[in-house]
Amino acid sequence: MKDIVYEILCGDLISCEYEHDELRILDERHAPLYLRNFKAWVASRAIASGRGLTSRNIKIASGLSANEYDFETAMKANAACVTDNYWVREKGSALRYSDVCFDNYTGHFSKLALGLDYSWSDYVSEEPNPELTNIGNSDKSWQVDDNGRRWLYKKQALNECYNEVLASKLAGRIGINTVEYELVYASEPDPEIGRYGIVRSMDFTQESRVNFEPAHLILKHLGTRDSDIIVNAGFFDELGLVRPYLDIMYLDIITGNPDRHSFNYGILRDRSNGSIAGMAPNFDNNFAFFAGSMPMEQFVQAAAKYGWKSPDEIAEDRERSIDESAGSPVTLITHGLIEELAAEMSSIEAFGGYEDIKAIRSIMSRNELLIAELNKLV
């Protein structure tokens, strides 16, 4: 039996070949950053089996078995996904990027992907399907609005929707580049399953004008974990991105977010030449305001080493209004800001009667603790 030779492409540019378990990088500028393991990379692009029945239904409706392996699942979509221009084909294939990208996707699988319908037989289709490569454990779906803009819709418990919206509002107010989340639906109370909601956010790759490179392969290259903030900060410092990297870690600390992992932060690269376009905006904060967070001690040391914020700057920021601090890279938290956020969240009708004042107040207490730790270094 003849071995298949695979090609990885960026748009219509061939960047890699894979044959006989050997990966050859032909064009590093257009290859996924630090790619070393072809099969693992393809498999990492598949819909998460942790989505249970939703994942199984999408696979069946797409012509796969319910328990299809991740590599085969991703390859059903030629390993193409919405947030970058990478894809895979067999060598010699006449397929072009226009054949496998999702420019003409109609949202056919949306209800199935959001877990709002479980009748997979109503959705059987050979249409190129971005839900097969829409990763993460929350039910989610890509949809396109009347103006042609792509939005990611996520279904989750209502308290997680609240966390997502609150964290994005907070980040935006203090100058952290962030994806903006908005609540678009809230269910009625159910004694068995509680309440769920749906939030949406706009595609931050601007319809794949840039490639999102999750931190996963970067950390593999460095031999580090997400919690190794000091070492990881050194890598981002070399790229000129240490401040936005530490901004994300800071937000996780003050919001108590334990779920920052190597697939929900990363960098953006220009699809035309592979150059670094910047840090991807902060996103995915539905587990914020839980008991955990990124390690504060490592963050404090990295902040001091790379000049993220001095204790004097923090103290000054706390005395200023938001407008007066607009020129500062990050405006740290004031009591006035907390009150504004509480009022803004309570004005969202679907959250009426739900407002978690403890969550909002915890921002201030975590920030005070962080300031105290930074001041010890002076």
pLDDT tens, residue by residue, 41-71: 999 999 999 899 999 999 999 999 999 999 9
Together in a domain, 236 and 96: no
Last residue of a domain, one of 103, 128, 150: 103
Residue 350 has pLDDT above 50, yes or no: yes
Q: Is residue 29 part of a domain?
A: yes
- What's the mean per-residue pLDDT of the chain? 88
Residue 314 has pLDDT above 80, yes or no: no
Q: Is residue 75 part of a domain?
A: yes
Query: What's this model's pTM, rounded to 2 decimal places?
Result: 0.90
Last residue of a domain, one of 45, 69, 103: 103
3-state secondary structure of 311: helix
pLDDT at residue 295 in the model: 79
Q: Which residue has the higher pLDDT, 205 or 339?
A: 205
pLDDT band (50, 70, 90) for residue 316? low
3-state secondary structure of 345: helix
Say which range, 108-122, 128-142, 204-218, 348-362, has the weakest mean pLDDT: 348-362
DSSP string, 211-239: EEEEHHHHHHHHT--TT-HHHHHHHHHHT
Q: Which domain holds residue 49?
A: 1-103
Say which range, 82-96, 199-213, 286-300, has the weakest mean pLDDT: 286-300
Last residue of a domain, one of 75, 103, 131: 103
**Mean pLDDT of all residues in 219-238:** 94
Return the closest-CA partner of residue 183 out of 208, 164, 167, 169: 164
pLDDT digits 0-9 by tens, 162-179 = 999 999 999 988 889 999
Q: Is residue 16 part of a domain?
A: yes
pLDDT digits 0-9 by tens, 229-273 = 999 999 999 999 999 999 999 999 989 898 999 999 999 999 999
Together in a domain, 219 and 356: yes
Residue 152 has pLDDT above 60, yes or no: yes
Q: Is residue 131 part of a domain?
A: no
Question: How many separate domains does the chain show?
Answer: 2
**CA distance linking residue 29 with residue 40, whole number of Å:** 20
Pairing of strands 86-90, 139-144: unpaired
Q: Is residue 154 part of a domain?
A: no
Q: Is residue 150 part of a domain?
A: no
Residue 378 has pLDDT above 60, yes or no: no
Q: Is residue 109 part of a domain?
A: no
**CA distance linking residue 231 with residue 334, whole number of Å:** 30
Q: Is residue 129 part of a domain?
A: no
